[in-house]
Amino acid sequence: MQMLWENSKTIWRIACCSAGGKNSRRISRLSLLSAAMGALAVAAAPFSSAFAAIVWTDKGQASGDITSNIGGNSGAQGAFASQNSIALVGDADCSRLSMDNSESGNLDPTSIWGTGDANSTNGLYGFGNEFDMKTASQTSNAGAGQPNGMPLYNADNSQLGTGKLWLSGNRTARTQALGANANAIGCDSLAYGIGSQAMGWGAWAFGSGSVAFGLNSRANGNGTLAFGIGAQAAAESSLAFGTLATASNKSSIALGALSTASGTNSIAIGGGTGGQDSAGALSVTNGAQATGANTVALGYLSKASVSDGVAIGAQSVAETASGIAGYDMVTGAASTQTGAAWVSTLGAASVGDAANNLTRQITGLAAGTADTDAVNVAQLKGLADVAVIYDSTSKDSITLAGSSGTKLTNLSAGTLSDSSTDAVNGSQLNATNNNVTTNAGNIAANTDDIATNTTDIAGNKTNITANTTAINTVAANTSTYLGGGADVAAGTAPSYTVQGATANNVGDALKAVDSSFNSVNN
């Protein structure tokens, strides 16, 4: 080990084992760390106001007024740090971990959980723990799901198990901290941007204030945060927490393994799992998914897919968009009203998934007040107490409750006809009553008149009888007085014979007599 002091540029270097090859990396990391920290403390003390860059690897480059390059073996690529930045990695020519041997370094559920069995066979989780230091060629981290273990270094691309996980053999990985106060710690960690922080194997933080923490985590954008294996915060101010959590749009938040927030300002909270189904095939289930703008999904497997939608609780699904008319109990159909109390103005809030018969009760709900408040069961029971209901499901009769009877008010006039089944209101009955009263008076007056008429008729009858007797007497007398067989009552005319001629009335008879007298006189 050697320590150098150069007055011209004030560069501290601590070097060890400059040509030992891969096996020479069996140096004590603790010894190197102690020496490095001591050197850095000495270097920083007299130049506290200067800009510094620190690189710790077997080969690296640091830029700044005060630079420290601490390393051992010669590397293929090296590490880089700009002013006021730190890049730390055990070996600069380390291997990149990737899926399907790609350069992106991205991972998927299969590369992490493997085949999905309890041992995560052929997945990252299938490896065991390493409890002691080993050489580059030794693999002591084998596990139940990865019996061969993972080498520290390899000359060729190697597939880990039989799954998608690969370790690159070209050793092109590098650790870089480029940007004021940027820090990159770990193989293939990249921190690009002011104050960016990347920590973990393959952690990438791109953008001012971006933070990537975890194996192959990705924070891509200003103010992004990615925490967890394969976590991706891919847009400005987005946040991803958890294994393979993804926040892909501006200000989106994904919390939980496999959670996805892809809408602007969306929030997904709730993890998924990698497991095995009944047939033994891989069954990796997505976590909470908030895919619409301004959506919120809270809970395992919850989904909010429409703008402003809210899914609350495990397996809840919010997929009803705004603009949906509510049910009108009066018409039995969707309401035709346009107010916010009848037509939704935001995406629906869901606490279940009716399409798959997943429902839950909402408990502890206070009674609503405004037109847009929820109603609880107590209010519905109160409504039932004053409601009028049919006596049976046949709906053929209604009995009104209450011991004092019930008055129906504001009843419109029913149609009066021989075919009408309408109810009659008080006004109609009052008119009928008035007519009945009038008719009763008229009938009473008519009764009096009838009694009077009866008396008069009786008197008239007596008079008629007397008149009839008198008339009969007159008729008989007249018949007698006329003679000639006259019968006035029967209407028989008299018959007179004068000078051989017959006359049927007194006038003709007298005329015949007169004529006879004249003949005698002459």
DSSP class per residue in 58-108: SSEEE-SSEEEEEE-S--SS-EEE-TT-EEE-S-TTPPPEEETT-SS----
Give the pLDDT confidence score for residue 162 in this predicted structure: 65
d(C-alpha 268, C-alpha 365), whole Å = 25
d(C-alpha 215, C-alpha 223), whole Å = 19
Report whether 225 contacts 211 (CB < 8 A): yes
- Phi and psi at 519, nearest 5°, equal -65, -35
Give the pLDDT confidence score for residue 332 in this predicted structure: 87
Give residues with Cβ within 8 angstroms of 471, minimum separation 6: none
Report whether 82 contacts 64 (CB < 8 A): yes
**In whole angstroms, how far apart are CA 282 and each of 163, 275, 302, 460?**
12, 7, 21, 121
d(C-alpha 325, C-alpha 88), whole Å = 60
Report whether 307 contacts 263 (CB < 8 A): yes
Give the pLDDT confidence score for residue 276 in this predicted structure: 40
- Phi and psi at 435, nearest 5°, equal -65, -40
Residue closest to 141 by CA, chosen among 159, 132, 128: 128
**Residue-by-residue pLDDT tens, the chain, 522 positions:** 333 333 333 333 333 333 334 444 433 343 344 344 433 433 333 333 334 566 665 544 555 444 455 443 434 356 778 878 888 876 656 778 887 777 777 888 888 888 878 888 888 888 888 777 666 666 678 888 887 777 766 666 777 766 677 777 656 667 899 999 999 999 889 999 999 999 999 999 999 999 999 999 999 999 999 999 999 999 999 999 999 999 999 999 999 899 989 889 999 888 775 544 333 334 455 678 888 888 888 888 888 888 989 998 888 999 999 899 988 888 889 988 988 988 999 999 999 999 999 999 999 999 999 988 999 999 888 888 888 888 898 888 988 887 888 888 898 998 989 999 888 888 888 888 888 888 888 888 888 888 888 888 888 888 888 888 888 888 888 888 778 888 877 888 888 887 788 888 888 878 878 787 877 776
In the numeric block, the tokens 């809970």 are attached to 299
* Element (DSSP H or E) covering residue 284: strand 282-284
Give the pLDDT confidence score for residue 34 in this predicted structure: 39
Report whether 258 contacts 271 (CB < 8 A): yes
User: Edge-to-edge strand order for the sheet containing 79-81?
Assistant: 60-62, 79-81, 175-178, 190-192, 204-206, 218-220, 232-233, 246-247, 260-261, 289-290, 303-304, 317-318
Report whether 166 contacts 158 (CB < 8 A): yes
Give the pLDDT confidence score for residue 497 in this predicted structure: 82
Give the pLDDT confidence score for residue 231 in this predicted structure: 96
DSSP, res 417: S
Give the pLDDT confidence score for residue 62 in this predicted structure: 52
Render 361-402 in DSSP notation, one character per residue. Answer: ---SPPPP-STTS---HHHHHHHHHH----SSTT--------
Report whether 314 contacts 277 (CB < 8 A): no
* Element (DSSP H or E) covering residue 11: strand 11-15
Give the pLDDT confidence score for residue 1 in this predicted structure: 33
Give the pLDDT confidence score for residue 175 in this predicted structure: 87
Strands 274-276 and 282-284: antiparallel
- Phi and psi at 464, nearest 5°, equal -65, -40
- Segments making up each domain of the chain, as ranges: 426-473
Give the pLDDT confidence score for residue 387 in this predicted structure: 82
d(C-alpha 504, C-alpha 494), whole Å = 5
Give the pLDDT confidence score for residue 134 in this predicted structure: 66
Report the chain's C-alpha Rg in angstroms. 59
d(C-alpha 294, C-alpha 35), whole Å = 52
